[in-house]
Amino acid sequence: MKQLGLSRRRFLSAMAAVGTSSLAHTLGRSVAHAQDGNVPKRLLLLFSPHGTSYPDWRPKVAGGDFDIDFPDSILAPLAPLKQKICVVEGLDMLCAYYYARSGHEGGITSLFTGTHRNDDNTTDSPSIDQAIANHLATTASPVPHRVLNYVVGLDATFGAGTSAFFETQGNAAQPIPCQSNPLAEFHRLFDGVTPDGPTPEQLALTARKKRLLDLSREQLGAIRQTLGSFERIKLDAHVEAIAQLEARLDTVVSCAPPTGVQGTGDPAYMDHSTAQQVQTTREFSELVTQAFACRLTHVAGIQLGFSGHFGTFPETGFTGDTHHDLAHDSIADGVATDPVDPQSSGSRQAYLDMQRVYTQRVTDLLMGMDAIVEENGKTLLDNTMVVWAGCLGNSAMHSNIDIPIVLAGGAGRVQMNRYLQYEYTQGNHNIHLDGSGSAPHNHLLASICNVFDMGVSGYGDPNYSGTLDAL
């Protein structure tokens, strides 16, 4: 049983996350100061599995510029957005290795939390989407939804290490049960949201919902009278949840809901082996884009699969098991090396096709965001800090070093159109747990927090505090 309150280790970790921001807040830094005009900064985290093939992922450098549009380039679909991305190579998840928690489960857990996976699948720090969302809840313009967390192609059964997003509950961070059903999410976010405000029917529905919540609150009051202070924390949490939900129901958003979320009406959205995941990715992309544009939330995270995802990719024509047949078998020493029949196991071509499908899905999402011009004259993409990363570097070795990362947008704070190359560690045997000769990915997480003015000096594992100077 974990002790109540923070252990020293957890306390340090929490402090690393909080840094000086709470001090700045009490000094009365204005909300508007942290924003670019009246347009808020947004955060979007994207996860995709299967590691990479370095020569095909790594941009080519020539004449002081970098190029991602060459034959076999995994990042080629992003070429039209080159001005708005920043490729980051060579960051290592040392925090996973420090506690011998590497591999699939360790990698996806450490990626956005900057700490290692505990035995019970919890972590010592939340993922940065949660930390930043909590920060924005008190510093940015109010929104009905603190953060949106989605997963594509997983029935959310929570085998060890399938979630990239963690939320603090008690004194540990628990994996978040991400929504996998776009249609349910569409109704949750956009029922009652129209360009002209809610219809009379929607207002009546809202009134009925509030009546139910009112009764719940009364019933909780009666229970509290009976129980006194016993289980007060749980009862208070329930009352607080009612208050938050009521505030959400009271927030009238006049905005256009997305039009492309059809859902399927059957559990196919959980099927990780059909074309459904293409549709699901597109629908979640549209939901997040419009939720940002409509000011329904400032923070979102989407998992495009999970670590070890064995879905198929109809776009590639490859019908085998993508994880084992491609990610394991077609990569050696970080290089896709098996130029055989594109339909066979271990096919280099199929591996590259698969990775380009992920890039294409991310590109489609970013292009959608880039098509929306906001009040400050910049696009929604420009106003958003996007972090797209994987859990593995070299997939065949299942190592969590040299993880492939692409930043986009920059939220007006991070310079884009760059290629940042940190030392290529190349193999587990080259890892230095003291951090020498290697760039811990914690530094990136801390710098992303600081894009949102959190003023931290580190994030997650205190062994690897620090920020990325280049950001």
Partner 1 sequence: MRFISGAVLAGLTFTAACTGIVGDTGEGDDAAADVGEHRDPLCEGAPQQLRMLSRDEVAASLNAVFGVPAVDWIGIVPPDPPAEGYVMATATSTMSDERLEQLLAVSNQVADAVAANAPVLAPCASTTADAECLASFVRDRLPIAYRRPTSEAEVQAVVAVAQAALDDGMSFADAMGQAAAAMSLAPHHLYRFEISDDDGELSDFAIAELLAFGLTGAPPDEALRRAAEQGELRDAEVRREQATRLIDSPAGRARLVSFVASWLEFGELDHADKSTSAYPEFDDELRGEMKDAALAFIEYVLFEGDGRLSTLFTSPTVIATPRLAELYGVPQTDGPVDVPSRPGILTRAAVLTAQSGPSASSPVRRGFLIRHRLLCTEVPPPPPAVDAAIPPASEVETTRDRFELHLSDPSCAACHQLMDPLGFPFEGFDGIGRARSTENGVAVDTSGAFTHGGESVDVADAAEFVAQLAAEPDLAACFAENYRMVGLGRPTTYSEACVPSVVLDTLAAQDGRLVDIVASWVATEDFIRRIK
**Identity of the residue, 158 or 424, whose beta carbon is nearer to partner 1 in the bound complex:** 158
Among 12-20, 126-134, 208-216, 418-426, the segment contacting partner 1 (CB under 8 A) = 208-216
Q: How far is CA 432 from CA 39, 300, 427, in A?
A: 42, 33, 11
**Identity of the residue, 98 or 358, whose beta carbon is nearer to partner 1 in the bound complex:** 98
Q: Strand 42-47 relative to strand 384-389: parallel, antiparallel, unpaired?
A: parallel
CB of 85 within 8 A of CB of 78? yes
Neighbours of 386 (CB within 10 A): 25
Residue among 181, 303, 359, 384 that touches partner 1 (CB under 8 A) = 181
Name, in order, each residue with C-beta under 8 angstroms of 401's C-beta and a sequence gap of 6 or more.
92, 93, 393, 394, 425, 426, 427, 428, 430, 431, 438
**Identity of the residue, 145 or 413, whose beta carbon is nearer to partner 1 in the bound complex:** 145
Residue among 34, 79, 137, 235 that touches partner 1 (CB under 8 A) = 235
CB of 249 to partner 1, least distance (A): 9
Residue among 14, 34, 332, 433 that touches partner 1 (CB under 8 A) = 433
Q: Is 203 in the site for partner 1 (CB under 8 A)?
A: no
Give the helix ranges, DSSP H, for 251-328.
276-293
Q: Is 160 in the site for partner 1 (CB under 8 A)?
A: yes
Residue among 7, 38, 141, 244 that touches partner 1 (CB under 8 A) = 244
Neighbours of 460 (CB within 10 A): 29
Residue among 208, 275, 341, 375 that touches partner 1 (CB under 8 A) = 208
Residue among 187, 342, 430, 457 that touches partner 1 (CB under 8 A) = 187
Among 41-49, 237-245, 254-262, 383-391, the segment contacting partner 1 (CB under 8 A) = 237-245
**Identity of the residue, 326 or 405, whose beta carbon is nearer to partner 1 in the bound complex:** 326
Q: How many residues bind partner 1 (CB under 8 A)?
A: 78
**Identity of the residue, 245 or 367, whose beta carbon is nearer to partner 1 in the bound complex:** 245
Q: Is 212 in the site for partner 1 (CB under 8 A)?
A: yes
Q: Is 429 in the site for partner 1 (CB under 8 A)?
A: yes
**Identity of the residue, 38 or 169, whose beta carbon is nearer to partner 1 in the bound complex:** 169
**Identity of the residue, 62 or 222, whose beta carbon is nearer to partner 1 in the bound complex:** 222
Name, in order, each residue with C-beta under 8 angstroms of 236's C-beta and a sequence gap of 6 or more.
none
The CA distance from 56 to 58, in Å, is 6
Residue among 178, 381, 444, 471 that touches partner 1 (CB under 8 A) = 178
Q: Is 234 in the site for partner 1 (CB under 8 A)?
A: yes
Site for partner 1, residues 96 to 155, rule: CB under 8 A: 97-100, 102, 104, 118-121, 155
- Give me the amino acid identity at 36: D
Token output for 131: 């930390």
Residue among 31, 203, 215, 371 that touches partner 1 (CB under 8 A) = 215
The CA distance from 1 to 116, in Å, is 19
Q: Is 219 in the site for partner 1 (CB under 8 A)?
A: yes
* DSSP letter assigned to residue 3: P
- Give me the amino acid identity at 457: S
Q: Is 233 in the site for partner 1 (CB under 8 A)?
A: yes
Name, in order, each residue with C-beta under 8 angstroms of 369's C-beta and a sequence gap of 6 or more.
289, 292, 379, 380, 381, 384, 409
Contact map string, positions 320 to 359, toward partner 1, x by CB under 8 A: -x-xxx--xx---------------xx-------------
CB of 56 to partner 1, least distance (A): 21
The DSSP code sequence of 391-426 is: S-SBTTTT--SSEEEEEEE-TTTS--SEEEE-----
CB of 258 within 8 A of CB of 186? yes
3-state secondary structure of 42: strand
140: left (phi over 0), alpha (psi -120 to 50) or beta: beta
3-state secondary structure of 167: strand
**Identity of the residue, 68 or 189, whose beta carbon is nearer to partner 1 in the bound complex:** 189
CB of 390 to partner 1, least distance (A): 15
CB of 319 to partner 1, least distance (A): 12
Q: Is 231 in the site for partner 1 (CB under 8 A)?
A: yes
Among 61-69, 173-181, 378-386, 442-450, the segment contacting partner 1 (CB under 8 A) = 173-181
Q: How far is CA 245 from CA 141, 206, 297, in A?
A: 17, 11, 14
Q: Is 175 in the site for partner 1 (CB under 8 A)?
A: yes
Site for partner 1, residues 288 to 327, rule: CB under 8 A: 308, 310, 321, 323-325
Neighbours of 134 (CB within 10 A): 19
Residue among 23, 32, 184, 371 that touches partner 1 (CB under 8 A) = 184
Q: Is 284 in the site for partner 1 (CB under 8 A)?
A: no
CB of 373 to partner 1, least distance (A): 31
The CA distance from 449 to 456, in Å, is 7
